[in-house]
Chains A and B, each alone.
Chain A
Amino acid sequence: MPDAHGGARLELRGITKQYPGVLANDRIDVDVLPGEIHAVLGENGAGKSTLMKIIYGIVKPDAGTIRWEGAPAHVANPAQARKLGIGMVFQHFSLFDTLTVADNIRLAVDEQDAAQLPARIRDVSARYGLTLDPARRVHTMSVGERQRVEIVRCLLQEPRLLIMDEPTSVLTPQAVLRLFDTLTKLAAEGCSILYISHKLDEIRAICHRATVLRAGRVTGTCDPRQETNATLARMMIGGDLPHPRHREVAAGKPALVVDALDLAADDPFGTTLRAISVTVRAGEIVGIAGVSGNGQKELLAALSGERTLDRAGAVTLCGKPAGRLAAYDRRRLGLAFVPEERLGRGAVPEMTLAENTLLTTRDGALVSHGFIRSEGVRAFAAKTIAAYGVKATGPDAVARSLSGGNLQKFIVGREINQQPKVLIAAQPTWGVDVGAAAQIRQALIDLRDNGVAVLVISEELDELMEICDRLAVIAQGRLSPAKPIHETSAEEIGILMAGTAETSGGDREALHA
């Protein structure tokens, strides 16, 4: 609990940061007390990351003051932040795959005595329940374990403020609980924690206080333990969370059949797929849960045709063997695909939305005799923009200029507008704000209700539980049988996510490379 002597560890006053075209932070005031787990809650693009980068010295504010333990502080760069006692665990890790845990940590903690380091790592990891073997190489570790390396690396510097950026987005439910134990323990010892998230349940479970941001401004400060998801969401998005409508539809004929698909990894740290079988029928949503790096990337490439297979029968689309067909030919059989990366894969950053429409749509109104009909293309893009509420200046807006959520809506809309028979979506709402995420989920459900076979691969278990009819789990390149959603539970899925090599209820502790 925050102690009451009144001195805040970190005081932000009037922090303002202007980026071209967007005011990322607008006169933000935040106080973080010693020993407090302080949530910073907000939709994507609300300004959370900018604020954290300012605290950690990566971004310079245009105006405003930072006081650290009562004294004015000027944080010019992350090294200075660390010297002050501020540590940060990023959403995307910065570890060298081929080095050991100890080497990775040594690179960042330069003043440490090298011989002592492994012992100190064991020490810190034992104290906070972050089991780590200093001699292991990072590429053999699960995402949860890699996060532990990052956390231990921060803790070795004995920070008095730890910033965690969306720490649970890559963890199994069990690993999330263990992370919470660690954070609670740290806070009890007096370390302040800034916890960035948009997951309301988590914030209500462990945070003492929450600062809510919307469009760069503080819209409220509250004790999340006294709030409900609905009240928090209202502060966050300024309205009520939409709830998806789910209509009962009898599933039809199998539209996508994957039969004993084996595929060797094409890079040294990839995952080999082993005997993957799954059937998706018309009018149902099948979900594939799993911690990232367990073969999702490879499976998606094999299903979309970005990697072709040796055996045609391994993938059947609408009754036709499609394993040897390339992406374009599979699309002509009725497949649509929303990839995980929007910029650079789902869309060409430098091209306009109209041009990006042509990536996957080639019907007669858009292309005839090989020549592009720009009016048709623009009309299609305009229709997508209107139907999915994409915030963009129009079909001529460059893809790069859209926010992640808006671009995702455009890509999902583009794929759905093609009236596919099978839609595969990877992380459809990853990094998308709550409002847009709800809209995308609804679009997937509507598609299902219209008799389309939908396969969703996601790390967000809550999302899968919400929209799927059946759920399978991918772990270490193997896929569990898909089970109807009401016959399974988050706990069971969590155990499957941790994989077969499960030993101590952890996530892939005993995985051998």
Chain B
Amino acid sequence: MKLVLEGRPQPSRAAVWFAPLLATAATLVVGFVVFKAFGKDPLAAFDAFFIQPVATRYGIAELLLKATPLMLIATGLAIGYRANVWNIGAEGQLTLGAIAGGGVALAVGDAEWPSALLLTVMFAAGALAGMLWAAIPAWLRTRFNANEILTSLMLVYVATLLLSWLVHGPWRDPEGYNFPQSRLFTDSALLPNLVAETRLNAGLLIALAIVAIAWVFVRRHIVGFEMRVAGLAPAAANYAGIAAKRNVWLGMLAGGACAGIAGVGEAAGPIGQLLPSMSPGYGFAAIIVAFVGRLHPLGIVFASILMSLLYLGGESAQMNLALPSAVTGLFQGTLLFFLLAADVFVNFRVRVVQPAAAT
């Protein structure tokens, strides 16, 4: 008796949803081993990692707060990923969005703009800046065939340094005791809270609205369809007359806009000013979220909540168990690893065979 993998005639619908669950379970097993290796009681560790962070109303609000930029960015990236446009630089686009949105907030300053108007201008500026940053790799790709994976990634560091220069230099808060940070935004430049005594704000609603729009675009609009075709079968896209360059532009700009909006959401939400770093790596974690969510908007919403839990759990494990914060990155990596491995079951199934009688 032996096990063989055999191709499925049709990809399994069940496995599409089963694979992420399997990957999550496998990640927990690895977590068990890791906690054991650190000499911690695994059950207590799981409790500290996955239960305690969301045991309170505040905890759940934090969970959704952190999920907000992740789902937003992942939704934008997924549009490009479906068309094989690999934007890896969302972290940089987020930073540029925060710079532009924050720049508007700082420039308006105490001039009494209505909050709705100010926030609209801030988000528009952030989206445009994110798109502008994403347009650079798009142009390099369509003009010189430069690999967008490399160019978009490299621009992350440029964006980080740009923000760093701004908050250390021209935009530094003159009354900030020389700390590298901007002035605090005025109240009208801050997103309204959704739940009292938490940090959860209206950014979540913006993210969910964009997820819904993206869903309609991908599933119902012909351009979304064309981008899926381009990703699955480039020769078929060419045959159908779908312009490859347009897909690169759309894919990059969608990712850039969403990341830019997420950057404004961070600046105008939980942070309320510009700091040298506006995100604990949301732009990179969102890549994992996009794949764990199978590039599907609804899947991305769930995956972003899972990823957010890993962030909170990592912090909690650091505080309560004295584990290094790297444990968050370890869980993220393990999850992505198992997810890609579990993907095999979508197109293959395991079958038990008796040895062939032929000799």
Contacts and interface: CB of A to CB of B under 8 A. Distances in A.
Contacts of B223: 370
Contact of B239 (A329, A346, A355, A397): A346
A64 interface: yes
Interface residues of A, number: 46
A344 B10 CA distance: 16
A249 to B, nearest CB: 30
Contact of A344 (B7, B222, B235): B235
Interface string B2-18: 00001111110000000
A345 B9 contact: no
A326 interface: yes
Contacts of A401: 9-10
Interface stretch (B149-157, B240-248, B323-331): B240-248
Give the one of A337, A372, A397 with max B CB within 10 A: A372
B236 A359 contact: yes
Interface string B217-260: 00011110100110011011011111100000000000000000
Contacts of B6: 19-20
A345 B236 contact: yes
B56 interface: no
B8 A337 contact: no
A349 B232 CA distance: 8
A331 B233 contact: no
A20 B9 contact: yes
Given A371-B222, A401-B9, A60 B358 contact: yes
Interface string A302-340: 001110000000000000000000111111000001010
B356 A61 contact: yes
Interface string A90-123: 0000000000000000000000000000000000
Contact of A362 (B7, B10, B222, B243): B222
Contacts of B7: 20
Nearest to B242: A328
B196 interface: no
- The prevalent SS among residues of B at the interface is mixed
A177 B356 CA distance: 41
B225 A341 contact: no
A304 B358 CA distance: 50
A372 B240 CA distance: 16
Contacts of B229: 348, 351, 359
Q: Which of A339, A367, A371 has the most CB of B within 10 A?
A: A371
B225 A329 contact: no
A398 interface: yes
A339 B239 contact: yes
Nearest to A342: B236
B225 A348 contact: no
B178 interface: no
A13 to B, nearest CB: 10
Contact of B240 (A327, A341, A367, A370): A327
Contacts of A367: 222
B359 interface: yes
Contacts of A372: 220-222, 225
Contacts of B235: 341, 344-345
Contacts of B322: none
9 contacts: A20-B8, A63-B356, A64-B357, A327-B238, A330-B241, A348-B229, A370-B223, A371-B221, A401-B9
Interface of B: 6-11, 220-223, 225, 228-229, 232-233, 235-236, 238-243, 356-359
